[in-house]
Amino acid sequence: MLLIKCPYCEEERPEIEFSYAGEAHIVRPTDPSKMDDTAWAEYLFIRDNTRGVHYERWYHIHGCARFFNAVRDTISDKFIMTYKMGLPRPADVEIAKVKE
């Protein structure tokens, strides 16, 4: 079973307690009414589908019920790190450090 570290509980917990919640760090446009349909559709539906290091949201639904962000390698399915909501995207240097 995959263990995921919840940054709020500060514990490694079984995957079954979590729910995936899509790509992270997608900023909602401040004024959607001024956007055309293409731009709005892009915001809603178009995602990177990265191969390799991916920034994503997870939801500890059967735990502390908090959303948090994670960095996961989509090739090996390994979680590199998790961090609290609202924190900036970790820099590549930071990720490389954790990987070692």
Tell me which residues touch other proteins (CB under 8 A).
Answer: 1, 8-11, 13-14, 16-17, 62-66
Neighbouring residues of 59: CB distance < 8 A, sequence distance ≥ 6:
18, 19, 20, 21, 65, 66, 67
Amino acid identity for residue 62 in this structure? H
Rank residues 10 and 100 by Cβ distance to other proteins and give the closer one.
Answer: 10
Cα–Cα dist 71/86, whole Å: 14
Supply the minimum distance, in Å, between the C-beta of residue 62 and other proteins: 5
Rank residues 44 and 85 by Cβ distance to other proteins and give the closer one.
Answer: 85
Supply the minimum distance, in Å, between the C-beta of residue 92 and other proteins: 29
